[in-house]
Amino acid sequence: MEWVKKNWLMLIIIVIAALPLIESLLPLTISFNGGGLSFGYIIPEHIRARVPHAGRQLSVWGLPLHLTGEWAIRMMVITLTCTPLCILFGNSKILRYKKVFGIFTFLYTVLHLTFYLADHNVFEIFTEMNLILALIATIIIIPLGITSNKLSMRILKKNWKKLQQFAYAAAIASVLHLALLGKGSWLLYTIILAAGFILRIPEVKAYFRKGRSSYSVESAA
């Protein structure tokens, strides 16, 4: 019970982050029959209504593909925003939740790839630049997710941090993927990520630290 009291906010974040994941998996059906194992996906109307399809016939697997793709990039943007928020407000507790968002970025990305392969031929990825960019982002995110643990940190040592920095490349590839798809949300994500990159610049970071120190001294006086 004591652990719950100390980590209640973490639990709330995990539940909220997992809700879209549960939503995308619940309609999945698995059946065994004389022909072997088969998978299906019951199209939920509330998800169908959210997916723009301009009157086109919606693919069954395209619905969870859309949902997991949306949340993969959202979780990635939130993950990469944790450090800039820490710099901006000087609250290192924010970084405690960065790993959770990173793990969910990994989970949504893997599901997004899985649903894509269930709906398309793997070789179709190489026919469009937006799909190639998505593949690049996925190839980067998967090893980042797999190595997000203390054992990997001990094994990789200094190289662990260098590996994690590839997350920025994955974010850029993901935003370009959205832009080429014509999704309007790419602009918002670009602004958020760009602001985060600016805050990471050593001179900008030092400016905010100095500002907080001056404010603390004035408040104490």
Q: Is the residue at 95 inside a domain?
A: yes
Q: Is the residue at 31 inside a domain?
A: no
Q: Is the residue at 27 inside a domain?
A: no
Q: Is the residue at 106 inside a domain?
A: yes
Q: What pTM, to 2 d.p., does this model score?
A: 0.81
Paired residues of 33 in beta bridges: 36
Distances (CA, A) of 103 to 119, 130, 144: 25, 24, 9
- With b for 16 or more beta-carbon neighbours within 10 A and e for fewer, the 81-95 pattern comes to bbbbbbbbeeeeebe
Parent domain of 84 = 61-220
Q: Is the residue at 16 inside a domain?
A: no
The rounded distance, in Å, linking the Cα atoms of 164 and 144 is 6
Look up residue 44 and give its two tokens.
Answer: 């939920």
Count of the separate structural domains present in the chain: 1
Mean pLDDT rounded to a whole number for the chain: 82
Q: Is the residue at 18 inside a domain?
A: no
Read off the pLDDT of residues 51-104 as tens digits, 9 standing for 90 and up: 555 444 556 677 778 888 999 999 999 999 999 999 888 888 888 889 899 999
Decide if pLDDT at 206 tops 90.
no
20 and 63 Cβ atoms separated by less than 8 Å: no
Q: Is the residue at 52 inside a domain?
A: no
Look up residue 195 and give its two tokens.
Answer: 């602001």
Q: Is the residue at 56 inside a domain?
A: no
Residue 176's pLDDT is what? 94
- Report the candidate in 147, 116, 146 with the shortest Cα–Cα distance to residue 131: 116
**Element of type H or E holding 95:** none
The rounded distance, in Å, linking the Cα atoms of 80 and 140 is 14
